[in-house]
Amino acid sequence: MTTSEHISVSRVGAVNVVRIDRADKKNALTSTMYEALTAALTAGEADEDVSVHVLLGVPGAFSAGNDVAEFAAAAATGKLGLQVIDFLVALASLDKPLVAGVDGLAIGIGTTALLHADLVYASDRSLFRTPFLDLGLVPEGGSSLLAPRLMGHPLAFELLCLGNGFDAGRAATVGMVNRVVSAEEVEPAALEAAAALAAKPRQALAAARRLLRSGHVTSREDVLTRIAVEAKEFARRLASPEAAAAFAAFMGKKK
């Protein structure tokens, strides 16, 4: 098992298990954590003994999104860290299946990252929410392409623009979640599914995943292009007076 601060990586057979572990901050992600996540996924992709990735959080929190302090600093300077983009590109570039286990909060990128997963198991206390517009920002992670493709424009607009939270049941109904289980069953369910995938012929598994993801709208090239377009607009919004006012109000509430 290898460990970086707040990101741990372990191996269960042919499964690369990556865990976000910053429970005191509800798994809010810092630039250092994004770097570690990217490194963990990249290393797993390069390892011939790995067939499947699993992404997990901690009890009560998959991820609360970006670290507030870092996000506020980025808003003040209007500069978006490349570590986030590198992580999103790594997600969109995976050849091996990605299974996610979600218990509790999945906010912002904690939700949009799941759109890149092949299987998602969530606890019945999970909450999926993307408050981008509340902060004067726009959706990221390829979500403006992937979410409408998955659930249709009205529901994607409700999630990404209106910012309504989806509970686990609704997330399953719209296709974001494969199965809703108890909090205690999330990790076993995710690991069991990953092990089942890992037991299948590896080249056939990779080819089948590639075929399923090669639709004309959600091809890897289209997703990577959309991530870049979103990032450019995100950075523009981040530097706007509108975002500055939203962040000031948000930080005032936090204090």
Instruction: Indicate if the pLDDT at residue 3 is higher than 70.
Output: no
In eight-state DSSP terms, residue 133 is G
Q: For residue range 137-149, what is the model confidence (pLDDT) as tens digits?
A: 999 999 999 999 9
CATH 3.65.10.10 for the 2-185+202-254 domain, yes or no: no
Rounded distance between C-alpha atoms, residue 54 and residue 99, angstroms: 5
Tell me the pairing of strands 2-4 and 15-20: unpaired
What's the rounded mean pLDDT across residues 227-241? Answer: 93
Q: Higher model confidence: residue 88 or residue 75?
A: 88
**The pTM is what?**
0.94
CA distances from 19 to 1, 53, 55, 236 (A): 11, 11, 6, 32
Domain spans of the chain?
2-185+202-254
Closest CA to 33 of 80, 83, 69: 83
| pLDDT at residue 214, as a whole number | 79
**Coil, helix or strand for 18?**
strand
Instruction: Indicate if the pLDDT at residue 251 is higher than 80.
Output: no
| pLDDT at residue 244, as a whole number | 86
Rounded distance between C-alpha atoms, residue 165 and residue 179, angstroms: 18
Residue type, 214: S
What's the rounded mean pLDDT across residues 95-104? Answer: 98
Q: For residue range 153-178, what is the model confidence (pLDDT) as tens digits?
A: 999 999 999 999 999 999 999 999 99
**Coil, helix or strand for 60?**
coil
Q: Higher model confidence: residue 28 or residue 252?
A: 28
| pLDDT at residue 250, as a whole number | 80
Q: For residue range 39-59, what is the model confidence (pLDDT) as tens digits?
A: 999 999 999 999 999 999 999
Average pLDDT, the chain: 93
Residues near 223 by beta carbon (within 8 Å), at least 6 away in sequence = 92, 142, 145, 146
What's the rounded mean pLDDT across residues 228-255? Answer: 86
Tokens 């639709």, located at residue: 215
What's the rounded mean pLDDT across residues 100-123? Answer: 98
| pLDDT at residue 255, as a whole number | 59
Instruction: Indicate if the pLDDT at residue 1 is higher than 50.
Output: no
φ/ψ (deg, to 5) at 85: -65, -40
198-217 burial string, b = 16+ CB within 10 Å, else e?
A: beeebeebeeebeeebeeee
